[in-house]
Structure 1
């Protein structure tokens, strides 16, 4: 099976490269904008700007993959609010180009989406819940979902929540590293305790995506962790894991911080469908911290 992924330099893209290139039954074409920032391995790399329709068509037509996994997007919620044109270009227009290229190549298309399509009034959510985005980012992802659903091609959508993990070049932080690095320096932290999420280990999300593609399982799937936690809960668990000083962490309301984009209060996902139909089995948050910690020791 030949799989092409977009956004291979990103966190999820990196985990997919590692997972797929290690499988002898799979051929991988990794694509991202600019140079490959990952070690070379048993895969082909192609530079591809997803906002360039001709380039998308050329690369997908050239390789004619059995499946395309689109991990590329503008995901910084506040940046999307202040740079709406760029957000629309990356999160909506680019998806239109990929859908068209997949139609021509006969490729299965897996698109990544988010819990931010919901308003947070009634979480955790299943796949049938009604969307109501609060931010421009959420609207862009919901619009891209509609494009995929109405495309007439073979498709799936993997929705996820608050992805954490370690990037190859340590270019990405996450709540665990943020808490660990600051408390080790003795820096006090204010952490929100009135927003709830089901945090997702990047390796788990990659595994969920691969399960969808291998089965060509059409439709929407929630791929996240199982535990409903606040950022404050995650900070406390990080303190317990690393033996850090909890007295440095203050719990605050989200209203303490002034941010351009509005966040949903309580999202999180019900993942029963992915568990039963795909055999998806996510790690606990503690298990995820252990995996992350082991990776940090290797770096």
Structure 2
């Protein structure tokens, strides 16, 4: 397959780029503000930009939309920018997919739910609480309406290897490795399914190779709150010094509401791929410690 990845310098896009290439596919990954040696420039909000990679000439079979504004609290107070980078970028890539007759992969989130009754199956009622969640859902529904063959992957609490090491687990590992003292004030009432970006890339490719479409929930084998997640990582660094302060979400006074009982029941994916093995936080961190 010829695969075009928007946002390939980020966590998920970077893992997709690496995995798809290793599996022998012809892949082009793009960046916007953070350039890498493996990516080319493409601005999804300015499709006529003179520096844009020539997507039409590449003529991909698949367009994977990994680029998005994921800072949930920032989105809450920057609504127009959130719309542009989540909804408008999707509108533009849908148009490109139509021009290229390409399949679209849209990356969604458990923030399309209200967190009152998670973890969620694909059939659960939708009720986003935040600007971020509302825009992700709007873009998801728009993609499916415009391109019924769209593959939607809802993901949550993504961690893993990335150049900038921005994800929660990567930051803890980096600070522990550097011998820095950590101060972690974390909610004990936010639950989700931490998922390795590498596993998402693997699951995505399996679905693409089998020509799947529709909505799939992709979550790791763990289900835990943020305090438990931090403790799990810290347990591999016995020399680490830290202050871990459990709190409730309300006390954090965050601008955007969170779905407290989030995460997924991935029964649909598991029923179709019963032998597909997802990693765990333990397996990931253990491997990182072993290779340090």
Structure 1 residue ranges, 4+ long, deviating more than 4 angstroms after superposition: 55-58, 244-247
SS at match of 1:248: strand
CA gap of 1:78–1:182, structure 2 versus 1, over 3 A, is farther
TM-superposed deviation, 1:58:
7.5
Give the Cα separation in 1 of the matches to 2:196 and 2:232.
Answer: 15
What is the TM-score of this pair, normalised by structure 2?
0.91
Any conservation in 2 of the 1:222–1:271 contact (CA below 8 Å)?
yes
Cα RMSD after superposing both structures? 2.4
Corresponding position of 2:16: 16
* Alignment size in residue pairs: 289
Give the Cα separation in 2 of the matches to 1:228 and 1:54.
Answer: 43
- CA offsets 1:148-188 (integer angstroms, 9 cap, x no match): 111145211000011012312x3414145337726943444
- CA offsets 1:18-46 (integer angstroms, 9 cap, x no match): 1112222x1011112156313x4xxxx43
Give the Cα separation in 2 of the matches to 1:239 and 1:171.
Answer: 17
Match runs of 1:116-265 below 5 Å = 116-168=111-163, 170-175=164-169, 177-178=171-172, 181=175, 184-244=179-239, 248-265=243-260
Any conservation in 2 of the 1:225–1:282 contact (CA below 8 Å)?
yes
Give the Cα separation in 1 of the matches to 2:72 and 2:215.
Answer: 22
1:108 aligns with 2:108: no
1:64 aligns with 2:59: yes
Give the Cα separation in 1 of the matches to 2:261 and 2:222.
Answer: 13
Give the Cα separation in 2 of the matches to 1:189 and 1:287.
Answer: 22
Match runs of 1:272-287 below 5 Å = 272-278=267-273, 280-287=276-283
Match runs of 1:53-92 below 5 Å = 53-54=47-48, 59-92=54-87
* Structure 2, unaligned runs of 5 or more: none
CA gap of 1:35–1:283, structure 2 versus 1, over 3 A, is closer
Any conservation in 2 of the 1:35–1:47 contact (CA below 8 Å)?
no
1:29 aligns with 2:28: yes
- CA offsets 1:77-99 (integer angstroms, 9 cap, x no match): 01111111111011001111111
What is the TM-score of this pair, normalised by structure 1?
0.89
1:49 aligns with 2:43: yes
TM-superposed deviation, 1:281:
2.3
Any conservation in 2 of the 1:60–1:102 contact (CA below 8 Å)?
no
Any conservation in 2 of the 1:182–1:188 contact (CA below 8 Å)?
no
Give the Cα separation in 1 of the matches to 2:122 and 2:49.
Answer: 33
SS at match of 2:128: coil
SS at match of 1:241: coil
TM-superposed deviation, 1:262:
0.9
SS at match of 2:236: helix
TM-superposed deviation, 1:104:
1.8
TM-superposed deviation, 1:248:
3.1
